[in-house]
């Protein structure tokens, strides 16, 4: 799945890079008004549409979901925390991708339809948005979503107006506009892409490549960002890329530690960083002041 994910993270240029289209033509989302909400996607294996009056036969039977071992609500703290992390991972993937992000209303606050994946006919609590009495853990999730949106707003390298093909090179770091990094810290090879058991890789976006401009016509440069995706269930030691004229990496976001403050964690170039299982982590490159 790594090649598919990589293509989608770059606004699916294989589908949209033609006829003068821009990356914004690619709309990226996890959940929409049809199907499960984000919270239900990690809480239910099966649809539960009994209230619709069609003997649970309506709605799509394939939901591409997993309940983490318990169908529906649970008091198990480990499962609840895992579900929250998976929700953070999925929205992080959307907000870190080139293109246009789309959020289903209510997903930022844990909205559930109780496993109903075809709730358009329910004008009641199943389908309404909950504006009050949001659980504390979902209020914390809201704060995380705000951080994600702010991260995307702060970093234009996450929303380039042109498709990235690795053809532009930074004069400062020598990096191409897009580099794919293996856990060993080097550029992904054909072997890495074809490794059936691979669950971890990095997306390195050079912040000062290409001809990107602000609406006022000024060159729009940015930090160089490294987003590391680990979908596996084991810790992965990830070698932080050794970049010319750089002195280290500062962590901007870690879905396994959502309360981690920006810049609280600093890693030297060339050092190993332990990527927690099922985690998305984002780093910004710290340049040598003399560069």
- Domain of residue 258, CATH code: 2.60.40.1180
Considering the domain architecture, whether residues 119 and 206 belong to the same structural domain is answered as no
Considering the domain architecture, whether residues 121 and 32 belong to the same structural domain is answered as yes
CB 63 within 8 A of CB 44: yes
Considering the domain architecture, whether residues 138 and 248 belong to the same structural domain is answered as no
For the chain, how many residues are written? 291
**DSSP classification of residue 156:** G
Considering the domain architecture, whether residues 237 and 133 belong to the same structural domain is answered as no
Q: Over its length of 291 residues, how does the chain's per-residue pLDDT go in tens digits?
A: 899 999 999 999 999 999 999 999 999 999 999 999 999 999 999 999 999 999 999 999 989 999 999 999 999 999 999 999 999 999 999 999 999 999 999 999 999 999 999 999 999 999 999 888 899 999 999 999 999 999 999 999 999 999 999 988 988 899 999 999 999 999 999 999 999 999 999 999 999 886 677 777 777 789 999 999 999 999 999 999 999 989 999 999 999 999 999 889 999 999 999 999 999 999 999 998 765
Q: Name the burial class of residue 88, with classes exposed (0-12), middle (13-18) and buried (19+) by CB atoms within 10 angstroms of its CB.
A: buried
Please give the Cα distance from 248 to 174 (Å, whole number): 16
Considering the domain architecture, whether residues 148 and 180 belong to the same structural domain is answered as no
Considering the domain architecture, whether residues 150 and 30 belong to the same structural domain is answered as yes
Q: Name the burial class of residue 163, with classes exposed (0-12), middle (13-18) and buried (19+) by CB atoms within 10 angstroms of its CB.
A: buried
Number of domains in the chain: 2
pTM, entire model: 0.94
What are the tokens at 247? Answer: 């002195």
Considering the domain architecture, whether residues 143 and 230 belong to the same structural domain is answered as no
Considering the domain architecture, whether residues 101 and 219 belong to the same structural domain is answered as no
Residue that has been written with the tokens 């996607």 in this structure: 41
Q: Which domain holds residue 103?
A: 22-154
Considering the domain architecture, whether residues 170 and 257 belong to the same structural domain is answered as yes
Q: Is residue 7 part of a domain?
A: no
């Amino acid at each position: 799945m790594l090649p598919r994910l990589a293509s989608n993270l770059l606004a699916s240029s294989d589908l949209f890079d033609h006829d003068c289209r821009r990356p914004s033509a690619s709309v990226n989302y996890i959940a929409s008004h049809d199907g499960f909400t984000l919270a239900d996607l990690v809480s239910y294996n099966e649809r539960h549409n009994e209230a619709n009056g069609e003997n649970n036969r309506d709605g799509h039977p394939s939901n591409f979901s997993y309940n983490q071992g318990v169908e529906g609500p649970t008091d198990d703290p480990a499962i609840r925390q895992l579900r929250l992390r998976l929700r953070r991972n999925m929205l992080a993937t959307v907000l870190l991708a080139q293109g246009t992000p789309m959020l289903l209303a209510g997903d930022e606050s844990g909205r559930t339809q109780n496993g109903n994946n075809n709730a358009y006919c329910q004008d009641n609590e199943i389908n309404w948005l909950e504006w009050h009495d949001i659980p504390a853990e979902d209020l914390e999730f809201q704060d995380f979503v705000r951080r994600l949106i702010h991260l995307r707003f702060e970093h234009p390298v996450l929303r380039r107006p042109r498709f990235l093909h690795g053809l532009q090179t930074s004069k400062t770091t020598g990096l191409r506009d897009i580099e794919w990094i293996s856990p060993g810290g080097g550029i992904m090879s054909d072997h890495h892409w074809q490794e059936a058991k691979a669950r971890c890789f990095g997306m390195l976006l050079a912040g000062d490549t290409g001809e990107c401009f602000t609406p006022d016509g000024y060159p729009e440069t940015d930090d160089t960002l490294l987003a590391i995706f680990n979908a596996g269930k084991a810790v992965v030691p990830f070698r932080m890329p050794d970049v010319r004229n750089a002195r280290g990496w500062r962590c901007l976001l870690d879905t396994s530690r959502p309360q981690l403050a920006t810049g609280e964690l600093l890693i030297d170039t060339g050092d190993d960083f332990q990527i927690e299982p099922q985690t998305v982590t984002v780093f910004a490159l710290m340049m040598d002041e003399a560069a």
